[in-house]
Amino acid sequence: MNDIPTDVLIIGAGPAGITAGVELLRRSSLKVSIVEASSQIGGISTTADQNGNLMDLGGHRFFSKSKRVMDWWFSVLPLYIDSSITSDTIAYQGKQLGLDLAQIPITNDEQISSFRIRPRTSRILFRNHLLPYPLQLSSDLLHAMGVLDTFKAAIGLVRSKLAPIRPEITLEDFFINRFGRCLYQIFFEEYSEKVWGKPCRELSAEWGAQRVKGVSIIKALKSSLEGLLPKSAFSRAFESRVETSLIEQFLYPTRGPGELWQCAMTEFLNRGGKLVSPYCVSKITPLDQGRYRVTGTSHEGENISWVTPTIISSMPITDFFAAWDGPVEESTREIATNLQYRDFIVVGLL
Protein backbone atom coordinates (compact mmCIF):
# COMPACT_ATOMS: atom_id res chain seq x y z
CA MET A 1 0.00 0.00 0.00
CA ASN A 2 1.58 3.25 -1.18
CA ASP A 3 1.13 6.45 0.81
CA ILE A 4 -0.54 9.35 -0.99
CA PRO A 5 1.14 12.68 -0.19
CA THR A 6 -1.16 15.64 0.45
CA ASP A 7 -0.64 19.05 2.05
CA VAL A 8 -3.88 18.91 4.02
CA LEU A 9 -6.13 15.96 4.82
CA ILE A 10 -9.65 16.78 5.97
CA ILE A 11 -11.57 14.05 7.79
CA GLY A 12 -15.30 14.33 7.14
CA ALA A 13 -17.28 15.80 4.24
CA GLY A 14 -19.87 17.56 6.36
CA PRO A 15 -20.38 21.35 6.45
CA ALA A 16 -17.19 21.93 8.49
CA GLY A 17 -14.99 19.74 6.32
CA ILE A 18 -16.30 21.01 2.99
CA THR A 19 -16.08 24.64 4.10
CA ALA A 20 -12.48 24.14 5.21
CA GLY A 21 -11.61 22.51 1.90
CA VAL A 22 -13.17 25.23 -0.23
CA GLU A 23 -11.56 28.01 1.80
CA LEU A 24 -8.10 26.42 1.57
CA LEU A 25 -8.34 26.12 -2.21
CA ARG A 26 -9.73 29.64 -2.61
CA ARG A 27 -6.82 31.08 -0.66
CA SER A 28 -3.87 28.85 -1.61
CA SER A 29 -2.41 26.34 -4.05
CA LEU A 30 -2.20 23.56 -1.46
CA LYS A 31 -3.08 19.97 -2.29
CA VAL A 32 -6.20 19.19 -0.26
CA SER A 33 -8.01 15.87 0.15
CA ILE A 34 -11.22 15.00 2.01
CA VAL A 35 -11.95 11.49 3.27
CA GLU A 36 -15.58 10.70 4.08
CA ALA A 37 -16.86 7.57 5.84
CA SER A 38 -20.30 7.49 4.19
CA SER A 39 -21.38 7.46 0.57
CA GLN A 40 -23.07 10.87 0.93
CA ILE A 41 -21.65 14.28 1.70
CA GLY A 42 -23.13 16.98 3.92
CA GLY A 43 -23.23 15.17 7.26
CA ILE A 44 -26.59 15.64 8.98
CA SER A 45 -27.13 18.66 6.74
CA THR A 46 -27.53 16.43 3.70
CA THR A 47 -30.59 15.88 1.53
CA ALA A 48 -31.28 12.26 0.63
CA ASP A 49 -32.77 11.35 -2.76
CA GLN A 50 -35.10 8.36 -2.56
CA ASN A 51 -36.41 7.59 -6.06
CA GLY A 52 -36.63 11.29 -6.86
CA ASN A 53 -38.12 12.20 -3.48
CA LEU A 54 -35.91 14.63 -1.58
CA MET A 55 -35.72 14.28 2.21
CA ASP A 56 -33.72 16.56 4.50
CA LEU A 57 -31.96 14.62 7.23
CA GLY A 58 -31.71 17.84 9.22
CA GLY A 59 -34.02 20.78 8.54
CA HIS A 60 -31.23 23.31 9.00
CA ARG A 61 -32.30 26.95 8.83
CA PHE A 62 -29.73 29.25 7.30
CA PHE A 63 -29.44 32.34 9.48
CA SER A 64 -26.35 33.90 11.02
CA LYS A 65 -25.55 37.17 12.74
CA SER A 66 -22.08 36.87 11.22
CA LYS A 67 -21.75 38.79 7.95
CA ARG A 68 -18.76 36.64 7.06
CA VAL A 69 -20.83 33.47 7.32
CA MET A 70 -23.70 34.94 5.32
CA ASP A 71 -21.31 36.16 2.63
CA TRP A 72 -19.77 32.69 2.42
CA TRP A 73 -23.14 31.04 1.89
CA PHE A 74 -24.00 33.54 -0.84
CA SER A 75 -20.64 32.89 -2.48
CA VAL A 76 -21.90 29.36 -3.11
CA LEU A 77 -25.61 29.95 -3.79
CA PRO A 78 -27.35 33.13 -4.98
CA LEU A 79 -30.64 34.37 -3.53
CA TYR A 80 -33.74 33.68 -5.60
CA ILE A 81 -35.89 36.78 -5.97
CA ASP A 82 -39.22 37.12 -7.77
CA SER A 83 -42.43 39.12 -7.45
CA SER A 84 -43.67 36.92 -4.59
CA ILE A 85 -40.88 38.12 -2.28
CA THR A 86 -42.42 40.71 0.03
CA SER A 87 -39.54 41.20 2.46
CA ASP A 88 -35.75 41.26 2.32
CA THR A 89 -35.49 40.66 6.08
CA ILE A 90 -34.90 37.29 7.71
CA ALA A 91 -35.44 36.59 11.42
CA TYR A 92 -34.50 33.80 13.80
CA GLN A 93 -34.73 33.43 17.60
CA GLY A 94 -35.66 37.05 18.10
CA LYS A 95 -32.89 38.39 15.85
CA GLN A 96 -33.54 40.20 12.58
CA LEU A 97 -31.19 40.64 9.66
CA GLY A 98 -31.77 42.78 6.59
CA LEU A 99 -30.37 41.47 3.31
CA ASP A 100 -28.53 44.02 1.19
CA LEU A 101 -29.79 42.94 -2.22
CA ALA A 102 -27.32 45.27 -3.93
CA GLN A 103 -24.37 43.42 -2.38
CA ILE A 104 -25.35 39.75 -2.72
CA PRO A 105 -25.77 37.62 -5.85
CA ILE A 106 -29.41 37.21 -6.85
CA THR A 107 -31.26 35.28 -9.54
CA ASN A 108 -34.80 34.91 -10.84
CA ASP A 109 -34.05 31.66 -12.68
CA GLU A 110 -35.90 28.81 -10.98
CA GLN A 111 -33.60 26.23 -12.58
CA ILE A 112 -30.48 27.55 -10.84
CA SER A 113 -29.53 26.24 -7.41
CA SER A 114 -30.34 29.06 -5.01
CA PHE A 115 -31.51 30.16 -1.57
CA ARG A 116 -35.18 30.94 -1.00
CA ILE A 117 -36.66 33.03 1.80
CA ARG A 118 -38.97 30.69 3.70
CA PRO A 119 -41.30 31.22 6.68
CA ARG A 120 -40.80 29.03 9.70
CA THR A 121 -43.47 26.41 10.29
CA SER A 122 -42.87 24.29 13.40
CA ARG A 123 -45.42 21.97 14.99
CA ILE A 124 -45.73 19.86 18.14
CA LEU A 125 -47.75 16.63 17.91
CA PHE A 126 -49.71 16.58 21.17
CA ARG A 127 -52.59 14.22 21.87
CA ASN A 128 -53.19 13.78 18.13
CA HIS A 129 -53.20 17.55 17.57
CA LEU A 130 -50.58 19.48 15.60
CA LEU A 131 -49.93 22.67 17.57
CA PRO A 132 -47.80 25.65 16.47
CA TYR A 133 -44.39 25.99 18.13
CA PRO A 134 -43.51 28.21 19.93
CA LEU A 135 -46.71 27.68 21.89
CA GLN A 136 -49.52 30.11 21.09
CA LEU A 137 -52.83 30.66 22.82
CA SER A 138 -55.48 29.28 20.49
CA SER A 139 -58.67 27.28 20.51
CA ASP A 140 -56.68 24.29 19.21
CA LEU A 141 -54.29 24.45 22.17
CA LEU A 142 -57.10 24.80 24.71
CA HIS A 143 -59.04 21.96 23.11
CA ALA A 144 -56.00 19.67 23.07
CA MET A 145 -55.15 20.38 26.72
CA GLY A 146 -58.66 20.17 28.11
CA VAL A 147 -60.20 22.21 30.92
CA LEU A 148 -58.26 20.63 33.80
CA ASP A 149 -54.79 20.92 32.23
CA THR A 150 -55.55 24.44 31.03
CA PHE A 151 -56.43 25.45 34.60
CA LYS A 152 -53.27 23.76 35.94
CA ALA A 153 -51.16 25.48 33.29
CA ALA A 154 -52.56 28.89 34.20
CA ILE A 155 -51.90 28.33 37.90
CA GLY A 156 -48.39 27.07 37.17
CA LEU A 157 -47.61 30.04 34.96
CA VAL A 158 -48.78 32.55 37.57
CA ARG A 159 -46.81 30.75 40.27
CA SER A 160 -43.63 30.74 38.15
CA LYS A 161 -43.89 34.52 37.72
CA LEU A 162 -44.69 35.31 41.34
CA ALA A 163 -42.14 32.90 42.83
CA PRO A 164 -39.55 31.93 40.21
CA ILE A 165 -36.89 29.38 41.06
CA ARG A 166 -33.74 31.13 42.28
CA PRO A 167 -30.95 30.55 41.61
CA GLU A 168 -31.77 29.19 38.16
CA ILE A 169 -29.29 26.32 37.87
CA THR A 170 -30.75 23.48 35.81
CA LEU A 171 -32.60 23.25 32.51
CA GLU A 172 -35.65 22.18 34.51
CA ASP A 173 -35.47 25.48 36.45
CA PHE A 174 -35.15 27.36 33.15
CA PHE A 175 -38.27 25.82 31.59
CA ILE A 176 -40.41 26.09 34.74
CA ASN A 177 -39.54 29.77 35.18
CA ARG A 178 -40.65 30.53 31.62
CA PHE A 179 -43.57 28.16 31.07
CA GLY A 180 -44.71 27.00 34.50
CA ARG A 181 -44.42 23.47 35.88
CA CYS A 182 -47.53 22.08 34.18
CA LEU A 183 -46.55 23.13 30.65
CA TYR A 184 -42.98 22.03 31.33
CA GLN A 185 -44.15 18.54 32.29
CA ILE A 186 -46.53 18.32 29.33
CA PHE A 187 -44.40 19.70 26.50
CA PHE A 188 -40.73 19.85 27.47
CA GLU A 189 -39.68 17.31 30.10
CA GLU A 190 -40.01 14.03 28.20
CA TYR A 191 -39.03 15.52 24.84
CA SER A 192 -35.83 17.05 26.22
CA GLU A 193 -34.84 13.78 27.87
CA LYS A 194 -35.34 11.93 24.58
CA VAL A 195 -33.21 14.45 22.68
CA TRP A 196 -30.33 14.86 25.12
CA GLY A 197 -30.40 11.52 26.93
CA LYS A 198 -30.40 13.12 30.37
CA PRO A 199 -33.06 14.47 32.73
CA CYS A 200 -33.48 18.25 32.56
CA ARG A 201 -32.42 18.50 36.19
CA GLU A 202 -28.96 17.23 35.14
CA LEU A 203 -28.51 19.80 32.35
CA SER A 204 -27.41 23.40 32.81
CA ALA A 205 -29.80 26.33 32.55
CA GLU A 206 -27.25 27.93 30.21
CA TRP A 207 -28.11 25.24 27.68
CA GLY A 208 -31.73 26.36 27.70
CA ALA A 209 -30.71 29.98 27.20
CA GLN A 210 -28.90 28.94 24.01
CA ARG A 211 -31.59 26.61 22.68
CA VAL A 212 -34.74 28.59 23.55
CA LYS A 213 -33.64 32.18 23.07
CA GLY A 214 -36.26 34.79 23.79
CA VAL A 215 -39.22 32.39 23.86
CA SER A 216 -41.69 32.36 26.74
CA ILE A 217 -45.36 31.65 27.16
CA ILE A 218 -46.00 35.32 28.03
CA LYS A 219 -44.59 36.43 24.68
CA ALA A 220 -46.51 33.67 22.95
CA LEU A 221 -49.75 34.81 24.60
CA LYS A 222 -49.14 38.40 23.49
CA SER A 223 -48.56 37.29 19.91
CA SER A 224 -51.60 35.03 19.98
CA LEU A 225 -53.95 37.89 20.90
CA GLU A 226 -53.86 38.93 17.25
CA GLY A 227 -55.75 35.78 16.37
CA LEU A 228 -58.25 36.09 19.22
CA LEU A 229 -59.16 39.79 19.02
CA PRO A 230 -60.67 41.69 16.08
CA LYS A 231 -57.97 42.81 13.68
CA SER A 232 -58.80 46.49 13.95
CA ALA A 233 -58.72 46.46 17.75
CA PHE A 234 -55.45 44.60 17.97
CA SER A 235 -53.37 46.00 15.18
CA ARG A 236 -53.33 49.62 16.32
CA ALA A 237 -52.11 48.72 19.80
CA PHE A 238 -49.85 45.74 19.34
CA GLU A 239 -48.99 45.03 15.71
CA SER A 240 -45.64 46.79 15.82
CA ARG A 241 -44.64 44.79 18.91
CA VAL A 242 -45.42 41.23 17.80
CA GLU A 243 -42.67 38.93 19.08
CA THR A 244 -40.21 38.56 16.20
CA SER A 245 -39.23 35.04 17.22
CA LEU A 246 -42.80 33.98 16.43
CA ILE A 247 -42.78 35.32 12.84
CA GLU A 248 -39.47 33.92 11.71
CA GLN A 249 -38.30 33.49 8.15
CA PHE A 250 -34.94 32.28 7.02
CA LEU A 251 -32.86 31.20 4.04
CA TYR A 252 -33.29 27.67 2.70
CA PRO A 253 -31.83 26.09 -0.44
CA THR A 254 -34.43 25.26 -3.08
CA ARG A 255 -33.74 21.53 -2.94
CA GLY A 256 -32.86 21.28 0.73
CA PRO A 257 -29.70 22.01 2.75
CA GLY A 258 -27.79 19.27 0.94
CA GLU A 259 -27.92 21.41 -2.21
CA LEU A 260 -25.58 23.99 -0.64
CA TRP A 261 -22.99 21.37 0.23
CA GLN A 262 -23.29 19.63 -3.13
CA CYS A 263 -22.54 22.95 -4.84
CA ALA A 264 -19.69 23.67 -2.44
CA MET A 265 -18.25 20.20 -3.09
CA THR A 266 -18.46 20.82 -6.85
CA GLU A 267 -16.38 23.97 -6.37
CA PHE A 268 -13.92 22.04 -4.20
CA LEU A 269 -13.43 19.41 -6.90
CA ASN A 270 -13.25 21.97 -9.70
CA ARG A 271 -10.45 23.73 -7.84
CA GLY A 272 -8.43 20.52 -7.72
CA GLY A 273 -9.52 19.03 -4.40
CA LYS A 274 -9.82 15.27 -3.97
CA LEU A 275 -12.72 13.42 -2.34
CA VAL A 276 -12.32 9.80 -1.23
CA SER A 277 -15.41 7.93 0.02
CA PRO A 278 -16.70 5.80 1.56
CA TYR A 279 -13.57 5.25 3.64
CA CYS A 280 -13.60 5.36 7.44
CA VAL A 281 -10.42 6.60 9.13
CA SER A 282 -9.14 3.61 11.07
CA LYS A 283 -5.62 4.67 12.07
CA ILE A 284 -3.69 7.92 12.59
CA THR A 285 0.02 7.46 13.18
CA PRO A 286 2.46 10.29 14.01
CA LEU A 287 5.64 10.17 11.88
CA ASP A 288 8.85 12.18 11.97
CA GLN A 289 9.18 15.84 10.92
CA GLY A 290 5.64 16.71 12.03
CA ARG A 291 3.93 14.41 9.56
CA TYR A 292 1.11 11.91 10.01
CA ARG A 293 0.02 8.75 8.25
CA VAL A 294 -3.75 8.46 8.03
CA THR A 295 -5.28 5.14 7.02
CA GLY A 296 -8.81 4.81 5.70
CA THR A 297 -10.69 1.53 5.42
CA SER A 298 -13.62 0.79 3.11
CA HIS A 299 -16.63 -1.37 3.97
CA GLU A 300 -14.95 -4.17 2.01
CA GLY A 301 -11.78 -3.93 4.08
CA GLU A 302 -9.68 -2.17 1.44
CA ASN A 303 -7.13 0.28 2.88
CA ILE A 304 -5.80 3.58 1.57
CA SER A 305 -3.31 5.86 3.34
CA TRP A 306 -2.13 9.45 3.15
CA VAL A 307 0.93 11.18 4.54
CA THR A 308 0.33 14.79 5.51
CA PRO A 309 1.69 17.52 7.79
CA THR A 310 -1.81 18.87 8.48
CA ILE A 311 -5.01 17.13 9.56
CA ILE A 312 -8.35 18.89 9.93
CA SER A 313 -10.79 16.55 11.66
CA SER A 314 -14.56 16.80 11.96
CA MET A 315 -15.05 13.13 12.90
CA PRO A 316 -16.42 12.32 16.38
CA ILE A 317 -13.74 12.85 19.01
CA THR A 318 -14.34 9.34 20.36
CA ASP A 319 -13.58 7.85 16.93
CA PHE A 320 -10.54 10.09 16.46
CA PHE A 321 -8.95 8.87 19.69
CA ALA A 322 -9.87 5.27 18.87
CA ALA A 323 -7.90 5.67 15.63
CA TRP A 324 -5.01 7.63 17.19
CA ASP A 325 -1.87 5.47 17.25
CA GLY A 326 0.42 7.83 19.12
CA PRO A 327 1.29 8.94 22.64
CA VAL A 328 -1.35 10.79 24.63
CA GLU A 329 -1.93 11.41 28.32
CA GLU A 330 -4.12 8.70 29.79
CA SER A 331 -6.44 11.24 31.45
CA THR A 332 -6.98 12.94 28.08
CA ARG A 333 -7.70 9.64 26.35
CA GLU A 334 -10.15 8.60 29.08
CA ILE A 335 -12.11 11.85 28.80
CA ALA A 336 -12.15 11.77 24.99
CA THR A 337 -13.19 8.14 24.63
CA ASN A 338 -16.02 8.48 27.16
CA LEU A 339 -17.76 11.46 25.58
CA GLN A 340 -21.42 10.71 24.87
CA TYR A 341 -22.94 11.16 21.43
CA ARG A 342 -26.65 10.94 20.66
CA ASP A 343 -27.92 8.79 17.80
CA PHE A 344 -29.80 10.63 15.09
CA ILE A 345 -32.64 8.68 13.45
CA VAL A 346 -34.91 10.08 10.74
CA VAL A 347 -37.95 8.27 9.35
CA GLY A 348 -39.26 9.48 6.00
CA LEU A 349 -42.79 8.57 4.88
CA LEU A 350 -43.25 8.59 1.10
Span 248-274, pLDDT tens digits:
788 999 999 999 999 999 999 999 999
Domain assignment of residue 322, yes or no: yes
Q: Around 310, how many Cα atoms within 13 Å sit in the side-chain half-sphere? A: 13
Question: Which residue type sits at 170?
Answer: T
Largest Cα–Cα distance in the chain? Answer: 77
Residue finishing a domain among 225, 246, 267:
246
Measured distance CA(334)–CA(350) in Å, rounded: 43
Q: Give how far Cα 258 sits from Cα of 117, 253, 349, Å.
A: 16, 8, 19
134 in helix, strand or coil?
Answer: coil
Measured distance CA(98)–CA(91) in Å, rounded: 9
- Are β-strands 129-132 and 123-126 bridged in parallel, bridged antiparallel, or unpaired? antiparallel
Domain assignment of residue 114, yes or no: yes
| Average pLDDT of the residues in 180-190 | 90
Are residues 154 and 196 part of one domain?
yes
Number of domains within the chain: 3
Instruction: Tell me how crowded residue 57 is: count the other CB atoms within 10 A of its CB.
Output: 20
- Output the pTM of the full model: 0.81
Domain assignment of residue 343, yes or no: no
CA dihedral 266, 68, 89, 134 (to 10 degrees): 90
The answer to whether 318 and 341 are in contact (CB under 8 A) is yes
Q: What CATH number does residue 275 fall under?
A: 3.50.50.60
Query: Is the pLDDT score of 104 beyond 90?
Result: no
Domain assignment of residue 217, yes or no: yes
Are residues 233 and 186 part of one domain?
yes
pLDDT score for 233: 44
Q: Which domain holds residue 136?
A: 123-246
272 in helix, strand or coil?
Answer: coil
Are residues 227 and 149 part of one domain?
yes
Residue 217 binned pLDDT confidence (cut-offs 50, 70, 90): low
Domain assignment of residue 344, yes or no: no
Q: Which residues pair with 312 in a beta bridge?
A: 10
Measured distance CA(138)–CA(221) in Å, rounded: 9
The answer to whether 155 and 182 are in contact (CB under 8 A) is yes
Query: Is the pLDDT score of 21 beyond 90?
Result: yes
